[in-house]
Amino acid sequence: MRNFAVKMIKVTDIYKKFDRLSVLRGVSLEVEKGEIVSIVGPSGAGKTTLLQIMGSLERPDAGSVDIGGEDIFRLSESRLAAFRNRHIGFVFQFHRLLPEFTMVENVAIPAMIGGAGHAESIRRAMGLIEYLGLKDRAGHRPAELSGGERQRAAVARALINNPSVVLADEPSGSLDSHNRAELHRLFFDLRRDRGHTFVIVTHDESLAAESDRVIRLVDGVVQ
């Protein structure tokens, strides 16, 4: 059993409506530094909306999100965008790689957005790509990669700025069983080697079972 002592994420009393539909109703939770936490629940429970709010992609109607001691929704839009790029990595069900760029260019983009020079961004991207065992594929475009390679490239892109937190929304949902198992192992390797904190929305029971902790969301409420 790992001993988690430092709070990385604190979500307090989050409410969110879309039109008249209450999607989140007073959600509160905490995630410790270095934890791998899965959020599970039926479709329509509010899991993706909660993850988007935790990542500042969506604003709550009420409540707060604290990441690494920063109350993120008190930041100005420009400071929030900079905070998100530096401290939060995102992995989605579909890789969202830009088709006109090579793998290494796709991975490097958030570093360049964050102000790193081109050469430094490519150097950091290649380091991650080598770590993930994809060095020979670095110059290939997404259409030339397998599904598993594309999703690992998306993970590398999420990590390029060495974020405190990685938020993953059904990251293995589009993968076959072999690549799904590989991706799951990768999350735990990254936690061991780099200390990232992971919050993962998933329907995958095996990934949830391997997590340090499972949070169940039903009808917008933590059970």
Report pLDDT digits (tens) over 181-198. 888 888 888 888 888 899
Structural domain count of the chain: 1
Residue 122 in domain: yes
Cα 139 to Cα 76: distance, rounded to the nearest angstrom: 38
Distance of CA 31 to the CA centre of its chain: 14
Q: Is 1 a domain residue?
A: no
- The answer to whether position 26 is within a domain reads yes
Query: Residue 97 carries which DSSP code?
Result: -
User: In the 3-class helix/strand/coil scheme, how is 22-45 assigned residue by residue?
Assistant: EEEEEEEEEEECCCEEEEECCCCC
**Residue 77 domain flag:** yes
Q: What is the enclosing helix (H) or strand (E) of 7?
A: strand 7-18
Q: What pLDDT, in 10s, does the model give residues 43-102?
A: 888 899 999 999 999 999 999 999 999 999 999 999 999 899 889 998 876 667 899 999
Mean per-residue pLDDT of the chain: 89
Alpha carbons 46 and 35: distance in angstroms, whole number: 21
The answer to whether position 181 is within a domain reads: yes
Give the domain extent around 81.
7-222
Cα–Cα distances in Å, from 209 out to 90, 170, 203? Answer: 22, 15, 11
Locus of tokens 């360049």: 112
Q: Does residue 163 fall inside a structural domain?
A: yes
Residue 104, H or E segment: helix 103-113
Whether residue 2 is contained in a domain is answered as: no
CATH number at residue 130: 3.40.50.300
Give the C-alpha separation, 95 to 39, whole Å: 20
pTM of model > 0.85: yes
Q: Decide if 75 is inside a domain.
A: yes
